[in-house]
Structure 1
């Protein structure tokens, strides 16, 4: 299948590299308003007219990595032109946009996947299979905290896209979705969501925590784009504890048995560019029309956006897409 990309950031460069490692995708084109930026990706064809990309029948799939607030409009037009979509997280600004987009996908017989790269890896599957070994779950802690160079712009009085409500930015939707999506993949939909944010003068969060209440199990997720953290993640049950080095990518999964103290390493060595697993899995699902897999990841996207929407509501974070 032929795939085109939208966006020219580092994440797009990594995805293009991942495409080259798959057997089911061929990098066929790149869209950018500025041709020289798209040329740096090494695309066989450059699109500077969005409608031209949408009209090109040779393009089967489009990977969207534009600013968050542009995802919805771009995805809808492309799906109406019968193109499958892999959209960077956060896929859309609101649950209403998500619902409309999935309906558009269904109406046009195409797939719409959110690019939760951390959920497609071999070590994610190993972590998921290990949960039962720790017994009844009681508490888990998952985090993604990484200082953003764009925060320096905020400190200088500017409003970069990633920290702007106009572009649906903030730490929650940029980094928080990694631990939150992992929690949803492992534990399902929480019964209650409680969120606390550190707000920036731009109107979005710079860091925060979202507590997911599962009744007999509490999962604390933390995220930040204004600090770094080197804390490991933990999943604790009555019979043992799983320690993981990070949520994306997961390179170490250590299981400690409570009674004996015995430790077991469960992780395997993964490819350096873990986006390869995402690209391969999604493309294979599209090619084989794997509706069961599609339903699984679609459900995760729906739960995650309702969590982030509730978290933003509790902290009075309103995106321009909602205010209009």
Structure 2
């Protein structure tokens, strides 16, 4: 399938390389407001067309799908342009700023006979599937701690007085929507929607969260998600059950899964080696849905996006974190 890209950052390059590795997608077009940036990306990966006009790209017949990795606040408007022009849309996480945008975009996709996907790489990997298939080994789950704490080099700029996109309410930034979605997707993918969620953030002068603790309440256990872009941590992800504990080095990528028996304390490795370019797995699953029209799988992914976005939206509501797009 021929596809184009919106955005010229490192994540776009990572997706292109994964798409090429999947042998399911062919890069044919690149968009950027800056023609030189578009040309550099196109030359690097062999795209035949560059665009500086989004509407022109959306109307073009050189692409069937688009991958959007622009600043978060631009996702909705850009996705709608492509959906209305009957192009499939793969939108980098976080897919949109709020659920109103999400539902509007899903309706546009349905009306135009195309698909809308959120690109969330850890959910499609072999190791996530292994974890989900084996989570019963832990017995009754009693707690989970899922951190994603990674110091951002852009925080240095913030401390110098600048406001980079990821720390800016204008661009729908913040730690929870940028990093917290990885462990949040992990939790929702394994346990479903929580009964209640509560967020306790460190709010920066820009009005968004630099770090925070998200508490998800399930019937018989609590899942605690820690996220930060202003500090660093070496703690691992753990799921604690009465019969055993799962230990994962990271929420994304899930490179290693260890199961530790509660009684014998013996441990065994459940994970398998994965492609270094782990976005290849989401490329393959998306391609499979587009090829077969697997509506059941598509609806599952849609529901996960709705749950995750609803939780992050509620977390912001609780703490009066308002994006400019919502004012």
Give TM-score, length-normalised by structure 2: 0.97
Matched with 2:13 is 13
SS in 1 for 2:283: helix
SS in 1 for 2:21: coil
- Following TM superposition, by how much is the alpha carbon of 1:40 offset from its aligned partner in structure 2, in angstroms? 2.5
Give me the whole-angstrom Cα distance separating, in 1, the residues matched to 2:324 and 2:193: 27
SS in 2 for 1:20: helix
| Alignment equivalent of 1:274, drawn from 275, 278, 291 | 278
| Alignment equivalent of 1:252, drawn from 244, 250, 256 | 256
Residue correspondence of structure 1 range 1-324 to structure 2 within 5 A: 1-41=1-41, 42=44, 43-323=47-327
Give me the whole-angstrom Cα distance separating, in 2, the residues matched to 1:275 and 1:320: 30
- Following TM superposition, by how much is the alpha carbon of 1:189 offset from its aligned partner in structure 2, in angstroms? 0.3
Deviation sequence 1:200-234 (CA, Å, 0-9, x none): 10110000010000020110001000001111100
Give me the whole-angstrom Cα distance separating, in 2, the residues matched to 1:134 and 1:25: 39
SS in 1 for 2:131: helix
- Following TM superposition, by how much is the alpha carbon of 1:152 offset from its aligned partner in structure 2, in angstroms? 1.1
Deviation sequence 1:47-91 (CA, Å, 0-9, x none): 111111111123111000000000000101100100001000111
Instruction: Let me know the Cα RMSD of the aligned residues.
Output: 0.8
Deviation sequence 1:234-273 (CA, Å, 0-9, x none): 0011110000000100111000111111211001110111
Extract unaligned runs of 5+ from structure 2.
none
Q: How many residues align?
A: 323
- Following TM superposition, by how much is the alpha carbon of 1:39 offset from its aligned partner in structure 2, in angstroms? 2.3
Give me the whole-angstrom Cα distance separating, in 2, the residues matched to 1:69 and 1:59: 24
Give me the whole-angstrom Cα distance separating, in 2, the residues matched to 1:147 and 1:44: 37
Deviation sequence 1:126-178 (CA, Å, 0-9, x none): 11111100101110011111111111111111111111101100111000111
Give TM-score, length-normalised by structure 1: 0.98
Give me the whole-angstrom Cα distance separating, in 1, the residues matched to 2:240 and 2:81: 45
**Is 2:29–2:62's contact at 8 Å kept on the other side of the alignment?**
no
- Following TM superposition, by how much is the alpha carbon of 1:44 offset from its aligned partner in structure 2, in angstroms? 2.0
